[in-house]
């Protein structure tokens, strides 16, 4: 006998109990569906949720490689305009023009050389003579330009009024030639002044160079002339020559400079000579006393006379007489 609780034999027995029905709850407003991101984060902890595979991020597109930099090719100038060689080769007209220029170059070069040589050998043609001017027209123009000046010289009394009235053309010619002479005289004076200035400057430079050379040679002739090496002493000596002596250029010789230097420094030289003489006298006296004390006889041996110094030999009788 079957009961109501029994199941047909064909139905398979249930291995897991069915979940209990949830108690009824009051109706509530439906919650908004979670976002995809939130659903992914809560798929493992919330029941009934299914984890969807995360979308694969888009792969960035590879950057295109920079195009290789094209080097500019050679250029060819045809008829004064520069073209790229590729453009010339791709253009039949330009290629033909380039080929024609290349073929004609030796011929054109030869013609240029022949023409240049012919121009060098051929004499220069004479310039055409100027067109003759009617003297009456020229005289009328001169008279018109000199009219005011003729009036001035008449009022100043240089030319009589009757002469200017009777011979106006001659008066204009005279004044024109006078003006040309004045202009020529001014130019000659300017040229003469320039020439004299340049010549004078050259002469001054030459004379000063010779004078310095003579003074340098004189300064190396001993201690008497050694002060000439000092620029201050040399300048003072030159001022003495210019202001006190003022000789002509032809008198300035090495011997003359030597005498002038001794005359210029005679006081210093005399003082030095006196000091030298006194020192030599004392030396001779000392030598005589030593000879007298060392000798055994009663008469002292006389000291040898001193030879003239180099300073006395140079001076000689060149010093002027003392007044």
The pLDDT tens digits of the residues spanning 226-244 come to 888 888 888 888 888 888 8
Higher-confidence residue: 64 or 138?
Answer: 138
Q: Burial code of 45-67, b = ≥16 C-beta within 10 A, e = fewer?
A: eeeeeeeeeeeeeeeeeeeeeee
- Determine whether 16 is exposed, middle or buried from the number of CB atoms within 10 Å of its CB (0-12, 13-18, 19+): exposed
| For residue 6, pLDDT beyond 60 | no
pLDDT in tens, 111-168: 878 888 888 887 777 777 878 888 888 889 999 999 999 999 999 999 999 999 999 9
The highest-confidence range among 3-12, 122-131, 156-165, 195-204, by mean pLDDT, is 156-165
| Per-residue pLDDT band at 93 (split at 50, 70, 90) | confident
Higher-confidence residue: 277 or 17?
Answer: 277
The highest-confidence range among 11-15, 32-36, 191-195, 218-222, by mean pLDDT, is 191-195
- What does pLDDT average to over the chain? 74
pLDDT at residue number 107: 76
pLDDT at residue number 254: 86
Average pLDDT over residues 203-230: 86
Judged by average pLDDT, the poorest of 3-12, 188-197, 199-208, 225-234 is 3-12
Average pLDDT over residues 250-265: 87
pLDDT at residue number 273: 78
Residue partners of 264: CB distance under 8 A and separation at least 6 = 237, 240
Helix locations, 122-265, DSSP H? 135-145, 147-156, 161-166, 168-219, 231-240, 254-264
pLDDT at residue number 294: 58
Task: With residue 281 as reference, give the H or E element that holds it.
Answer: helix 266-294
Average pLDDT over residues 22-43: 49
| Per-residue pLDDT band at 25 (split at 50, 70, 90) | very low
- Between CA 277 and CA 269 the distance in angstroms is 12
| Per-residue pLDDT band at 175 (split at 50, 70, 90) | very high
Average pLDDT over residues 252-281: 84
| For residue 267, pLDDT beyond 80 | yes
pLDDT at residue number 163: 92
Checking 252-260 for CB contacts under 8 A at 24+ apart, the result is: 252/207, 252/210, 252/211, 252/214, 253/214, 254/214, 254/217, 254/218, 257/214, 257/215, 257/218, 258/218, 258/225, 259/318
| For residue 24, pLDDT beyond 60 | no
Average pLDDT over residues 30-57: 52
Give the single-character DSSP code of 78: E
Higher-confidence residue: 179 or 287?
Answer: 179
pLDDT at residue number 20: 45
């Amino acid at each position: 006998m079957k009961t109501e609780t029994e199941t047909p034999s064909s139905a398979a027995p249930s291995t897991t109990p069915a979940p209990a029905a949830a108690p009824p709850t009051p109706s509530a407003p439906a919650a908004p569906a979670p976002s995809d991101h939130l659903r992914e984060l809560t798929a493992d902890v919330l029941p009934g949720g299914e984890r969807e595979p995360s979308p694969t991020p888009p792969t960035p597109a590879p950057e295109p490689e920079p195009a290789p930099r094209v080097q500019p090719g050679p250029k060819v100038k045809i008829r004064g305009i520069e073209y790229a060689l590729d453009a010339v080769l791709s253009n039949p007209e330009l290629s033909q023009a380039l080929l024609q220029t290349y073929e004609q170059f030796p011929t054109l070069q030869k013609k240029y050389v022949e023409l240049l040589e012919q121009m060098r050998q051929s004499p220069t043609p004479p310039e055409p003579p100027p067109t003759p001017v009617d003297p009456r027209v020229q005289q009328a123009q001169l008279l018109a330009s000199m009219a005011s000046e003729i009036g001035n010289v008449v009022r100043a009394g240089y030319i009589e009024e009757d002469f200017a009235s009777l011979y106006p053309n001659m008066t204009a010619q005279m004044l024109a030639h006078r003006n040309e002479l004045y202009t020529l005289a001014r130019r000659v004076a300017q040229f003469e002044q320039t020439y004299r200035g340049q010549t004078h400057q050259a002469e001054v430079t030459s004379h000063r160079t010779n004078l310095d050379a003579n003074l340098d040679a004189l300064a190396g002739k001993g201690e008497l002339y050694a002060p000439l090496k000092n620029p201050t002493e040399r300048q003072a000596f030159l001022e003495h020559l210019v202001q006190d002596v003022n000789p002509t250029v032809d008198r300035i010789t090495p011997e003359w400079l030597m005498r002038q230097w001794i005359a210029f420094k005679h006081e210093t030289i005399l003082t030095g000579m006196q000091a030298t003489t006194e020192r030599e006298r004392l030396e001779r006296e000392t030598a005589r006393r030593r000879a007298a004390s060392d000798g055994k006889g009663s008469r002292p041996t006389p000291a040898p006379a001193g030879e003239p110094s180099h300073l006395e030999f140079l001076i000689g009788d060149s010093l002027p007489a003392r007044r």
